[in-house]
Amino acid sequence: MAKRAYSPKDVACISHKVLPLEGKWKDVFGEPEIGDPWFISGPSASGKSSFVMQFAKVLCGIGSTLYVSLEEGVGLSMKRRLEQFKMNEVQGSFRLVTDGDLEALRERLHKPKSAKFIIVDSFQLAHDEYGWEYPKTKALMDEFPRKKFIFISQEDKGKPIGKAAIRLKYIAGVKVRTQGFRAYCSGRYSGNVSEYYTIWEEKAVEVYNEKNE
């Protein structure tokens, strides 16, 4: 059976829930639709992990957040980052798991009051160690259209590593790249294109002062 064809009036009548970002977050990232995935990438030591944790804390103020920590697990670096950004302030809305099994995650997300936001760090480990092929990942997102998936990606020479990650980036409504402790946004909902989010002011000053010398 053919899918329904929509008129402009039909589309105009559809209600969409947006992520209620405020302040600098709204200036840079706009008002993206709740169910549209985010794709966050950046080179090593660019502030990506710190940005993700800051974003996770913002999300916790909106709804429950599940952090699938495959790269750092619950090791010392994760412990220090949780302390640095005072995640204990939102511990009622934040949970961290170290298992990337797709079926286990599906079961968890089907439970009542399950997480509204799911952060996968990183997609490459999920893909290589737990079989997150692109079709399976897309099917998971389609199964939970009211949840937001945020994928963290490794990169090489400015591009996501792996064909599956590249495909995932293309369908993401919000694409974020960290560089020199700043986060830059592109995608369907971008705010002011000249804006960027400063992840770590002191480090960013060091980076860009050096470049200006």
Using 50, 70 and 90 to split pLDDT, how confident is the model at 200?
confident
Separation of alpha carbons 141 and 7, rounded Å: 26
> Residue 213: pLDDT above 60?
no
> Residue 159: pLDDT above 50?
yes
Average pLDDT over residues 186-213: 72
CA angle 91, 92, 95 (to 5 degrees): 65
Average pLDDT over residues 77-90: 95
If we measure between CA atoms, which residue out of 183, 109, 190, 177 comes closest to residue 149? 109
Average pLDDT over residues 138-158: 94
Average pLDDT over residues 135-141: 96
Across 6-10, 83-87, 183-187, the highest mean pLDDT is recorded for 83-87
